[in-house]
């Protein structure tokens, strides 16, 4: 079966987020929001082939850990697993 | 009130996604997945100040449209609005 999943990759707590700080500055300068505390991460959607939900999750875990994230600096969250 | 929200920014349909294609290639080469059809987007969390839910959504819409996304190439989705 084919499973479609979404993955969010975010920086771990305590890791500096210059990209987020840059957006914060823009929001402050444009008067949109004073302290938005923006954090920037990555968002992936992908499809994996697996026999069942459990295998799909194992495969996704491997893909997230090995390819989509840097486990030293980032953590990932797998959500919305649906068959397609 | 302070509202915390998450925002996903993804490429619109038909826009080339070279970053996603690169991940696809890696997954194929490493034997992890043959056709994962990876799509890469951005994931933001941020906090806005507003009087109520409706105003918070209006403000977030403005921020997403003007700062977080490029409306020509990307679309955004605001999710998980929670008071903090």
What is the domain partition of chain A in residue ranges?
2-83
Interchain CB contact of B13 with A (< 8 Å): no
Residues 6+ apart with CB under 8 A from A5: A45, A46, A47, A48, A56, A60, A78, A79, A80, A81, A82
Residues 6+ apart with CB under 8 A from B20: A44, B37, B38, B39, B40
**What local confidence, expressed as pLDDT, does residue A80 receive?**
79
Write out pLDDT tens, residues A23-56: 999 999 999 999 999 999 999 999 999 999 999 9
- Selected residue of B13, B35, B46, B74 to mutate for chain A interface (largest A Cβ count, 10 A): B46
Interchain CB contact of A82 with B (< 8 Å): no
CATH no. for A2-83:
3.30.1280.10
């Amino acid at each position: 079966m084919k499973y479609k999943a979404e993955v969010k990759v975010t920086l771990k707590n305590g890791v500096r987020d210059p990209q987020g700080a840059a957006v914060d500055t823009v929001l402050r300068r444009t008067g949109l929001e004073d302290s938005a505390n923006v954090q920037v991460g990555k968002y992936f959607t992908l499809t994996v082939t697996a026999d069942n939900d459990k295998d799909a999750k194992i495969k996704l875990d491997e893909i997230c850990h090995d390819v989509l994230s840097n486990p030293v600096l980032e953590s990932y969250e797998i959500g919305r697993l649906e068959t397609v």
